[in-house]
Amino acid sequence: MVMNKKPLRSMSPLQETIYRFSQNKVSLIGLAVVLLLIFIIIFGEFISPFENGVKQNIRMRLQGPSAEHWFGTDAYGRDIFTRVLHGTKYTMMIAFPATFIAEVIGIILGACAAFYSRWFDNILMRVLDVFQAIPGQLLALAVVAALGGSLFNLVIAMLIARIPASVRTARSIMLSLVGQEYIDAARSYGSRDYHLIFRHVIPNSLGAMIVSMTINLSAITLQVSSMSYIGLGVSPPTPEWGALLSEAREFIITAPHLIIFPGIAILLTALSFNLVGDGLRDALDPRLRD
Amino acid sequence: MDTLNNTLLKVENLHVVYKARRETVYAVNGVSFCLKKGETLGLVGETGAGKTTTAYAIMRVLPDRTARIVNGIIEFEGYNLLDVPENLMRHGIRGEKIAIIFQDPMSALNPIMKVGDQIAEALKFHNKEDLSPERIEEQVDRTLELVGIQKERKYDFPHQLSGGMKQRVVIAIALVCEPVLIIADEPTTALDVTIQAQVLAMIDELREKLGTAMILITHDLGIVAQMCDNVAIMYAGEIIEIGSVEDIYSGKMQHPYTAGLFGSLPDLEKKTDRLHPIEGLMPDPTDLPKGCKFNPRCPRCMDICRNVQPEFTVEGTHKVACHLYGSGKGRGIDE
Amino acid sequence: MIKYIIRRLITLVPIIIGVTLVVFTILEMTPGDPAKMMLGDGATLEQFEAFNEKFGLDKPFVSRFFNYILQLFTRFDFGTSWLTSRPVLDTLKARVPITLIIAVSSIAFASTIGVSLGVISAVKQYSKLDYVSRLTAMVLAAVPVFWLGMMLAILFALKLGWLPSSGTGSWKHYILPMMTLGLPYSARILRSTRGYMLEAVRQDFVRTARSKGVPERYVIWKHAFLNACLPVINTIGVYMGGLLGGAVVTENVFGCNGLGSFIINSVKRKDIPAVTGGTVFLAMIFALILLAVDILYAFVDPRIKARYTAKGAK
């Protein structure tokens, strides 16, 4: 069927994935939001200078949304829109490195476990069993308890809380790949292990790993903000979203707008990562699609 | 044709399509055949020829979101099954009058249900004679023994049985309500060669004993010769040749595709150096060729084959849909 | 089966030791001298020494760790609070019921809604109901638990005045925490149930059941659902970890004096033994839940049960 006109069949896997992803409207919206967030991080200063979010103005305290202050003002008269806008980068500064490093460590340990001796895999699994017996939130709490809450320490905390899950995901993806026949075939014609790992296993697992990474980003976004909310993450006056909400607690009755907008920011971020992740998964493996 | 009241199942001009996102798969395109009581019809063709779709259409167990029966009549005991409401279909036909033996016994059984319960289930929901639970159990025991499994095994779960035994259980499920028609969908392809003959012989024996009619779906012409009265050869969703076993194996006419199927069989009597497989692949069911569907692969293809869909040429019980025969177009033209 | 359960309980021992080691190691990294932090700079040298001796801080890490494990397994002793000098277990005992009520009620709430809507969503795939429940689930799965709690509190406690917004007095106090924690997890459970159900209804044995003439209701629940149940139970078990973590946050939102607020407060006050005890205790609860899920699994799936009983016979 060389002469087939169907577009899907003449594409490379990557093109095919992009094509399928582009057909998925909901995921495209998610992607648009993610791009918007990146745009905000880069150009936030031009949209509304950070100064606006720091400048206190007691006469303008606890104002509701208006043309001047889109999201209203807080107890010190600071502009909430600016604070939420600039809060984006704190969440991302924690979520991106933590997710990325967790994923890289996951891939390395996962590949080793899938490829090398049983004993390494066994030990790794036992260690993972231990780590997974501690709910992630508690692990992060313990790290913060020891190191104290700062941006860097939160990255460490999120990292430690995420690594077990990343390693487990990577390991199972790679084990399923190693079990496949083309790996055996490559082995049978004398490919070396590192060649197998870098040429076959990692490229083939990358799709699934990216999916798990996007979903992880969403989970970490939620976790970071909740750490700050309970007062063990980024602390006010830094306008991290969770910290904004923590500050807003005492005004829950008088100024609900202080609560609504940062919350929506967290929700949209987590949601858009999830949407992109879901869309990627469907695009990578259309059989999973219904 | 024959005595009409003897006809059990009459399929006429059946069309089934699968609608995917952007594509329409033309799975069955105008299939017609007749089946008399107690008779066995072999439905032969390659994978993807529409055999299983035809079977599922008769049972009306096609995936209801994607598959559509666009046209046709499936007349069973005088009623058009396509007009029967789902409720009645479930109640009176499926499992009760028509039963199906699935291809893959490994996945056809519910892994978390005792096999005895799976056999009994059919009885419970078709319990017209109001059998007591004890009687149902007896019937299950009897059916199990019929298919050659000790009745004690009914307390087993599928994973405790071998492949051959699982297929026997699947057969028991089909037989337990004593249906008048069994559709056997490649009942032995998933089994080891050594058990295949055993299971087939058993199916044949039971069918004869119970006087059940059968549609045997297979791609193995050898099995057909052993077990069937009539044979229909399917290609790309159409029946391209149909007739009695003698017609197909030694009739005067032969569709080039049928010839190809025979050519790809090893023959122990004739000494040949090599087999002759049919060149090429089945056409894409979303984009079927014009004219005769077999023309791109046909070694004897003529101009007319590329444009005109061939009609059946009838000779007694034997029908062939090929331009080589009938209406003046003899064998010689292309040779 | 009982043999199997006992065997599994024994395998929990190294897990708990491992968990303790992890928590111990992490908290060991706390900078500064505990005695100084607790007693302040004004205390005398004798007071520092007394403090260090009382809590074994004069001994090396390894010896303290083994002593802790020993106390934990022999006397179920989770250490002594630096702050109050009382056994941590006393506080845990008083607080754990609140956390358990919140966790159990919300997982029950989440499973009921998530599983039933997930099944219906899968069976009526692409119907309006399917779209609506998937959309809602998608949003709810991305909602920060504490924010949902605040929003629910604004609506039900402050605007409508139906429910109390904080405290733990009556059953009414637990409704908002249950919804806060349960809704996001019901969304997650819905999504996975739907996925597993879609897989299940495509299985061959479901077609076998249909072709037997089994009524659709039976086909869905008895054949498809019971099979989809296995991975669903497993997922719910895994979510329990996140849910217990979420309970910590939820308690904070609604001012419930459970294990969660105890741990958070202890973290803030640098009461390390309390953090260790609380974390290890919660991890033990989680491990027991996972064990229960495993056993439940074996009850539903004869294949797994067979493997276990075969192992047990050895």
Band of pLDDT at residue C162, cut at 50, 70 and 90 = confident
| Cβ separation C212–B94 shorter than 8 A | yes
Three-state SS for B226?
A: helix
Three-state SS for C48?
A: helix
**C249/C108 same-domain check:** yes
| Cβ separation A141–C267 shorter than 8 A | yes
Q: Residue C80: CB partners within 8 Å, gap ≥ 6? A: C54, C55, C86, C87, C88, C273
**C103/C56 same-domain check:** no
User: In this predicted structure, what is the pLDDT of residue B267?
Assistant: 65
Contacts of C308 in chain B (CB under 8 A): none
**C174/C258 same-domain check:** yes
Band of pLDDT at residue A5, cut at 50, 70 and 90 = very low
E strands within A100-185?
Answer: none
Supply the mean pLDDT for chain B: 84
Tell me which residue range forms the domain holding C263: 95-269
pTM above 0.90? no
First to last CA, chain A: 26
User: In this predicted structure, what is the pLDDT of residue B331?
Assistant: 40
Go through chain C and tell me how many residues it has.
Answer: 314
Q: Is residue C42 part of a domain?
A: yes
Question: Does A8 score more than 70 pLDDT?
Answer: no
Rounded CA separation B187/B217 (Å): 8
Rounded CA separation A272/A125 (Å): 32
Instruction: Pick the residue from chain C with its C-alpha nearest to A260.
Output: C151
Provide mean pLDDT across the span A197-224: 83
User: Among the listed ranges A179-193, B218-232, C9-23, which one has the minimum average pLDDT value?
Assistant: A179-193
How far is residue C50 from each of residues C57, C58, C78, C268, measured CA to CA in Å?
10, 10, 21, 24
Contacts of C230 in chain B (CB under 8 A): 112
First to last CA, chain C: 13
Strands B238-244 and B318-321, sheet pairing: antiparallel
How far is residue A15 from each of residues A202, A289, A290, measured CA to CA in Å?
19, 18, 21
**C131/C26 same-domain check:** no
Q: How many domains does chain C divide into?
A: 2
User: In this predicted structure, what is the pLDDT of residue A287?
Assistant: 54
**Distance from the B33 Cα atom to the nearest Cα atom in chain C, whole angstroms:** 22
Rounded CA separation C293/A107 (Å): 28
Of residues A256 and B160, which shows the higher confidence score? B160
Q: B258 is written with which tokens?
A: 């049928």
| Cβ separation C213–B94 shorter than 8 A | yes
Provide mean pLDDT across the span C115-121: 93
Q: What does R_g of chain A's alpha carbons equal in angstroms?
A: 23
Rounded CA separation A233/B266 (Å): 75
Supply the mean pLDDT for chain A: 81
User: In this predicted structure, what is the pLDDT of residue C205?
Assistant: 92
User: In this predicted structure, what is the pLDDT of residue C194?
Assistant: 92
Rounded CA separation C196/C232 (Å): 7
Rounded CA separation A50/A85 (Å): 9
Of residues A116 and C248, which shows the higher confidence score? C248
User: In this predicted structure, what is the pLDDT of residue C275?
Assistant: 87
Tell me which residue range forms the domain holding B157: 107-178
| Cβ separation C214–B121 shorter than 8 A | yes
| Cβ separation C208–B95 shorter than 8 A | no
Rounded CA separation A138/C263 (Å): 9
Instruction: Pick the residue from chain A with its C-alpha nearest to B284.
Output: A1
Nearest to C203 among B93, B107, B118 (CB): B107
Q: What count of other Cβ atoms lies within 10 Å of the Cβ of residue C60?
A: 8
Q: Is residue C90 part of a domain?
A: no
Model confidence pLDDT, tens digit, residues A28-40: 888 988 898 888 8
Instruction: Pick the residue from chain A with its C-alpha nearest to C198.
Output: A290
Model confidence pLDDT, tens digit, residues C82-102: 778 788 888 888 888 888 889
Q: What count of other Cβ atoms lies within 10 Å of the Cβ of residue B209?
A: 9
Contacts of B287 in chain A (CB under 8 A): 4
Rounded CA separation C288/C302 (Å): 22
Give the CA count within 13 Å in the CB-facing half-sphere of A249: 18
**C30/C153 same-domain check:** no
Band of pLDDT at residue C115, cut at 50, 70 and 90 = very high
Q: Which chains touch C (3 or more CB pairs under 8 A)?
A: A, B
**C120/C49 same-domain check:** no
Q: B123 is written with which tokens?
A: 């009885």
Q: How many domains does chain B divide into?
A: 1
Band of pLDDT at residue B182, cut at 50, 70 and 90 = very high
Contacts of A154 in chain C (CB under 8 A): none
**Distance from the A276 Cα atom to the nearest Cα atom in chain B, whole angstroms:** 21
User: In this predicted structure, what is the pLDDT of residue B333?
Assistant: 38
Band of pLDDT at residue C225, cut at 50, 70 and 90 = very high
Residue of B64, B65, B287, B288 best to disrupt the A interface, most CBs of A under 10 A: B287
CATH of the domain at A169: 1.10.3720.10
| Cβ separation A137–C144 shorter than 8 A | no
**C232, A124 Cβ separation under 8 angstroms:** no
Interchain CB contact of C269 with B (< 8 Å) = no
Question: Does B273 score more than 70 pLDDT?
Answer: no
Contacts of A6 in chain B (CB under 8 A): 23, 286
Q: Is residue B134 part of a domain?
A: yes
Q: Is residue B137 part of a domain?
A: yes
**Distance from the B111 Cα atom to the nearest Cα atom in chain C, whole angstroms:** 8
Band of pLDDT at residue A117, cut at 50, 70 and 90 = low
Q: Is residue C274 part of a domain?
A: no
Q: Closest Cα to residue A176, out of A199, A208, A198?
A: A208
Question: Does B5 score more than 70 pLDDT?
Answer: no
Provide mean pLDDT across the span B166-195: 87
Output the DSSP codes for B161-200.
S-HHHHHHHHHHHHHTT--SEEEEESTTTTS-HHHHHHHH
Q: How many domains does chain A divide into?
A: 1
Three-state SS for B135?
A: helix
**C123/C263 same-domain check:** yes
Strands B318-321 and B79-80, sheet pairing: unpaired
Interchain CB contact of C23 with A (< 8 Å) = yes
CATH of the domain at C225: 1.10.3720.10
Q: Which chains touch B (3 or more CB pairs under 8 A)?
A: A, C
User: In this predicted structure, what is the pLDDT of residue B253?
Assistant: 85
Q: Closest Cα to residue A85, out of A35, A27, A32, A46?
A: A46
User: In this predicted structure, what is the pLDDT of residue B327?
Assistant: 62
Q: Is residue A145 part of a domain?
A: yes
Rounded CA separation C17/A138 (Å): 17
**C141/C167 same-domain check:** yes
**C52/C139 same-domain check:** no
Beta bridge partners of B68: B17
Provide mean pLDDT across the span C119-147: 89
Provide mean pLDDT across the span A82-111: 87
Sign of CA dihedral B267, B270, B273, B274: negative
User: In this predicted structure, what is the pLDDT of residue A52?
Assistant: 73
Q: Residue C77: CB partners within 8 Å, gap ≥ 6? A: C71, C87, C89
Q: What count of other Cβ atoms lies within 10 Å of the Cβ of residue B224?
A: 23
Contacts of B286 in chain A (CB under 8 A): 6
Q: What count of other Cβ atoms lies within 10 Å of the Cβ of residue B21?
A: 8
Q: Which residues of B touch C (CB under 8 A)?
A: 59, 61, 63, 65, 90-91, 93-96, 99-100, 102, 104, 107-113, 118, 121-122, 125-126, 157, 159-160, 170, 173
Band of pLDDT at residue C185, cut at 50, 70 and 90 = very high
Q: Is residue A17 part of a domain?
A: no
Contacts of B90 in chain C (CB under 8 A): 210, 213-216
Contacts of B107 in chain C (CB under 8 A): 203-205
Residue B324: phi and psi, rounded to 5, are: -65, -25
Three-state SS for A80?
A: helix
**Distance from the A6 Cα atom to the nearest Cα atom in chain B, whole angstroms:** 10
Provide mean pLDDT across the span A219-248: 85
Tell me which residue range forms the domain holding A250: 23-53+69-288
Q: Which residues of A53-78 are buried (b: 16+ CB within 10 A; e: fewer)?
A: beeeeeebeebeeeeebebbbbbebb
Contacts of B170 in chain C (CB under 8 A): 208
First to last CA, chain B: 35
Interchain CB contact of C125 with B (< 8 Å) = yes
Residue B240: phi and psi, rounded to 5, are: -105, -15
| Site of tokens 């023994």 | B145
Provide mean pLDDT across the span A189-218: 80
Which stretch of DSSP H or E encloses residue B31?
strand B24-36
Going by the DSSP 8-state scheme, the letter that residue C202 receives in this structure is T
User: Among the listed ranges A61-75, B73-87, C152-166, C174-188, which one has the minimum average pLDDT value?
Assistant: A61-75
Band of pLDDT at residue B268, cut at 50, 70 and 90 = low
A to C CB pairs, distance under 8 Å: 150
Question: Does C109 score more than 90 pLDDT?
Answer: yes
**Distance from the B261 Cα atom to the nearest Cα atom in chain A, whole angstroms:** 21
| Site of tokens 């493997």 | C307
Beta bridge partners of B217: B43, B185
| Cβ separation C30–A218 shorter than 8 A | no
| Cβ separation A4–B281 shorter than 8 A | no
Question: Does C254 score more than 80 pLDDT?
Answer: yes
Question: Does C116 score more than 90 pLDDT?
Answer: yes
Q: Is residue B166 part of a domain?
A: yes
Q: Closest Cα to residue C91, out of C293, C257, C291, C299?
A: C257
Residue C293: phi and psi, rounded to 5, are: -60, -45
Question: Does C311 score more than 70 pLDDT?
Answer: no
**Distance from the B127 Cα atom to the nearest Cα atom in chain C, whole angstroms:** 11
Interface of B with A in 23-82 (CB under 8 A): 23
Q: Residue A214: CB partners within 8 Å, gap ≥ 6? A: A273, A274, A276, A277, A280
| Helical segments of chain B, H only | 51-59, 86-88, 105-108, 115-125, 133-146, 163-175, 193-210, 221-227, 245-250, 256-263
Provide mean pLDDT across the span B121-125: 87
Of residues B117 and A117, which shows the higher confidence score? B117
Provide mean pLDDT across the span B227-237: 90
Q: Closest Cα to residue C281, out of C90, C60, C63?
A: C90
| Helical segments of chain C, H only | 2-28, 34-39, 45-54, 61-75, 88-123, 128-141, 145-152, 175-201, 204-211, 216-218, 226-254, 259-268, 272-300, 302-313
| Cβ separation B122–C214 shorter than 8 A | yes
Rounded CA separation A37/A14 (Å): 25
Provide mean pLDDT across the span B97-102: 90
Q: What count of other Cβ atoms lies within 10 Å of the Cβ of residue B308?
A: 13
Per the rule left: phi > 0, alpha: psi between -120 and 50, beta: everything else, B232 is beta
**Distance from the B200 Cα atom to the nearest Cα atom in chain C, whole angstroms:** 20
ipTM of this model?
0.84
**C34/C177 same-domain check:** no
Q: Which residues of C145-163 are buried (b: 16+ CB within 10 A; e: fewer)?
A: bbbbbbbbbbebbeeeeeb
Sign of CA dihedral A50, A54, A55, A61: positive
Band of pLDDT at residue B270, cut at 50, 70 and 90 = low
The CA-based angle A220-A225-A227, given to 5 degrees, is 95
The CA-based angle C240-C242-C248, given to 5 degrees, is 105
Provide mean pLDDT across the span C178-182: 92
Model confidence pLDDT, tens digit, residues C209-223: 999 888 888 899 999
**B109, B166 Cβ separation under 8 angstroms:** yes
User: In this predicted structure, what is the pLDDT of residue B303?
Assistant: 84
Rounded CA separation B61/B99 (Å): 11
Q: What does R_g of chain B's alpha carbons equal in angstroms?
A: 21
Of residues A48 and A290, which shows the higher confidence score? A48
**B143, B176 Cβ separation under 8 angstroms:** yes
Interchain CB contact of B20 with A (< 8 Å) = no
**Distance from the B316 Cα atom to the nearest Cα atom in chain C, whole angstroms:** 36
User: In this predicted structure, what is the pLDDT of residue B217?
Assistant: 92
**C163/C35 same-domain check:** no
